[in-house]
Structure 1
Amino acid sequence: MARAAGLSASTASRLLDTLRQQGYADWDEASGLYRVGLRAFQVGSAFTAARSLVGAAEAEMRALVAELNESANLAVLRPLGGGRLEAAYVHQVQGPQLVRMFTQPGSGAPLHASGVGKVLLASRPDDEVRAALGTGSLSAYTPHTLTDPAAVLDELEKVRRDGYALDEQERELGVRCVAVPVYGAGGEVWAALSVSAPTARLSPEQLPAFLNATLAAAGRIGARLGWTA
């Protein structure tokens, strides 16, 4: 392994030991050989699941964008370590309008200050939610950001009750977002689908039409993933 990686044996040994401690590699004491660990398998499985998700969502997201003329985003939960989580964008279909940089695929969004983040966090158990939020004040991105964990918990209860989440200029001033859950085959929330637009183009009066279209698209994605209501 050291020769293949172009490393010294001592460096390769240290790296392998670190991988072993993190669960990415296993060492068989009897044979003295390393093999791929369970954590690496889990990461690979997550990557495969993400690819399946994007494949199922692509056509429906394009149809949604054609209907609303605004960009659609798909996000999943991404662990950051220490119980912390964020919403990670895995796919986007751009509308004809300006695309905000923070929604580019691969970028992350705070759970408390994004529509997709609220949807994803609302799907998790209470102990996981509290660990992710912590007890201190949360980062404020605009004057509208919810920074009190207790206020966020109240907001998540509303998300669970209503079946969707809003970002009311909480991540960026002048931008409103509506987000809904995407369900996998077992009825679990696999992802969050959102549409965002300037408040002038996504007004409170226009919200029902945007919400209904996004819910319908999420339902069709879920059907492609094998979920039935």
Structure 2
Amino acid sequence: MPPDTSHKQKTGRARSGEAGSVRTLERGLSVLSALAQSGEATLTQLAREVNLSASTTYRLLETLRQQGYVEWEEHTGLFRVGLLAYQVGAAFSVRSALLSAAQPQMQALVDDLNETANLAVRHAGEAVYLHQVQARQMMRMFTQVGAAAPLHCSGVGKVLTAWLPEEEVLRLLGAGPYPAYTPHSLTGYSALTRELGLVRAQGYALDDEERELGVRCLATPIRDARGDVIASLSVSAPTSRFPKRNIPEMLERVRTASQGISARLGWTG
């Protein structure tokens, strides 16, 4: 009996298919980029621009149109960038605007307090650090940009969760129990919802050695023009430099910075 080669054949076909899919994606993105640069164009113009046949270009445009990335006007025969492509670009624009608005406020805050400042947003079920301005202290808090923090036991995570509907909180975090990073971590759903209610009421969140012993963090919300909480600004420091009696003073300065960022994003509340 000849050896069974069906597994190898399937693997080969899968790899070939994957390569073809990547090539199609590359071509589709090149068509979309060309369309964005020209503003509007006919099929013939786009095919010439991307150096593809008219039939291939049409298939790519039709797929993009069905997905909402491209629009076609029948009476002129012109293709334009669609609403979904605009929404993707707008998301990048919002993040770019956030970083631009945050940098001067964060630098001023660090110059004032000489403690590390962090900017975070929520991504799925985690808080992700977008930007950091480090203090000049010999012993300073450092978080790598792009690193994630748990929502239930970080200052930024609590802020980014506190203004969400309860069903959304339950969807993101579940009903618990949650991981305990230190003896101070909140691990139960009831305790967490009480904490989030307190965050909403007082307008800030405190990570009181909940994620790492010996570290205290205070976080405040950043709002967009509609008043939605889209990010969180935090200052973290060793508990030896950030005792609880300093919370009111620290809060005033961090809140002023976060309100300044929000104002630059269009929030007037």
Q: CA deviation at 1:72?
A: 0.5
Q: Give the superposition deviation at 1:140.
A: 0.9
Name 1:139's counterpart in structure 2. Answer: 179
Correspondent of 2:241 among 176, 201, 206:
201
Alignment-derived partner of residue 107 in structure 2 = 62
Cα drift, residue 157 of structure 1: 0.4
- The separation in 2 between residues aligned to 1:145 and 1:65, in whole angstroms, is 27
Contact kept? 2:184, 2:208, Cα under 8 Å: yes
TM score, norm. by length of structure 2: 0.71
CA 1:68–1:59 in structure 2 vs 1: closer, same or farther (change >3 Å)?
same
Measured in 1, the distance between the counterparts of 2:194 and 2:206 equals 13
Out of 95, 108, 118, which is 1:73 matched to? 118
C-alpha deviation, 1:10, in angstroms: 2.5
Q: Read off the aligned partner of 2:224 and give its amino acid letter.
A: G
Structure in which a larger fraction of residues adopt helix: 2
Tell me which residue corresponds to 1:106. Answer: 146
Of residues 206, 212, 218, the one that matches 1:172 is: 212
Measure how far apart 1:226 and its partner are: 1.0
Counterpart among 10, 14, 18 of residue 17 in structure 2: 10
Question: What do the CA deviations read for 1:68-124 (whole angstroms, capped 9, x no partner)?
Answer: 110100000112xxxxx10001011101123434x2211010000100000000121
Aligned to 1:32: 59
Deviates more, 1:164-173 or 1:127-136: 127-136
| Letter paired with 1:174 | G
> Structure 1 residue 58: deviation in Å?
0.4
Contact in 2 for aligned 1:119/1:192 (Cα 8 Å): yes
Offset, 1:190: 1.4
Which residue of the partner structure matches residue 52 of structure 1? 97
Give the whole-Å Cα distance in 2 for the aligned partners of 1:131 and 1:96.
40
1:110–1:129 CA distance, 2 compared to 1 (3 A)? same
Aligned sequence identity (%): 49
CA contact (8 A) 2:140 2:237 kept: no
Aligned-CA RMSD value: 2.7
Matched AA of 2:91: A
Count of paired positions: 209
Structure 2 distance, partners of 1:145, 1:212, is 25
8 Å CA contact retained: 1:50, 1:90: no
Q: Report the Cα offset of residue 204 of structure 1.
A: 1.1
Contact 1:165 1:178 in 2 (8 A): yes
- Look up the equivalent residue of 1:178 and give its one-letter code: L
Cα distance in 2, alignment partners of residues 228 and 131 from structure 1: 31
User: Could you say which residue in structure 2 is the equivalent of 1:93?
Assistant: 133
Contact kept in structure 1, 2:141 and 2:236, CA below 8 Å: no
Where relative contact order (Cα < 8 A, 6+ residues apart) is larger, the structure is: 1
- Which residue identity is paired with 2:251? L
Which of the two has higher C-alpha Rg?
Answer: 2
Paired with 1:43 and 1:99, the residues of 2 have a C-alpha distance of: 36
Cα separation, partners in 2 of 1:40 and 1:126, compared to 1, 3 Å: farther
Q: Displacement, 1:35?
A: 2.5
- Alpha carbons 2:204, 2:220 under 8 Å: kept: yes
